[in-house]
Amino acid sequence: MSTPLLSPFIGTIHPIEEAPDPVFAMKMLGDGFFVTPSSGEVVSPADGEVTYVAPTKHGIRIVCADGAKITLHIGTESGALKGEGFTVFVEQGAKVKTGDRLMTFSPELLRAHPKTTDACLVLLEGLPEGKEVRLTTGGEVAFLAPVAEIV
């Protein structure tokens, strides 16, 4: 049996192995996927509790009821922006439902900054041994579209 994963972004989906940062591409921070965004909106891909919001506003971790840890990392090297271009609507300890608005960001600012990219990553930490994330679709994705599964 597989667990469906939903997209918290609108844009074009890519396998994590194609991430522009080798730390993500080599799955050092978890398996997952990334989206090249066509919108600067981010919604919760699952019900859970926000357990971390990066001080620089570019990352949020949600722990789901089943214990799954989903980290949303907006851009690569985006911490260098020190929160510029990001607005976060949740805080640590907040309970969220699938589809709740988590943040907005400026894809244009990420693309314009010389050291950042606009890759929006969805990372699953601590998958059981032998489990992996497999994309079930390609191309353009919408908010909350089923895009991958844990197999």
Q: Which residues are catalytic?
A: 73
Rounded Cα distance between 31 and 125, Å, is: 7
Among 33, 20, 8, 13, which Cα is nearest to 104's? 8
Residues belonging to the chain: 151
Q: Do 56 and 84 meet the contact criterion of CB atoms below 8 Å apart?
A: no
Alpha-helical regions (H) of the chain: 22-25, 107-112
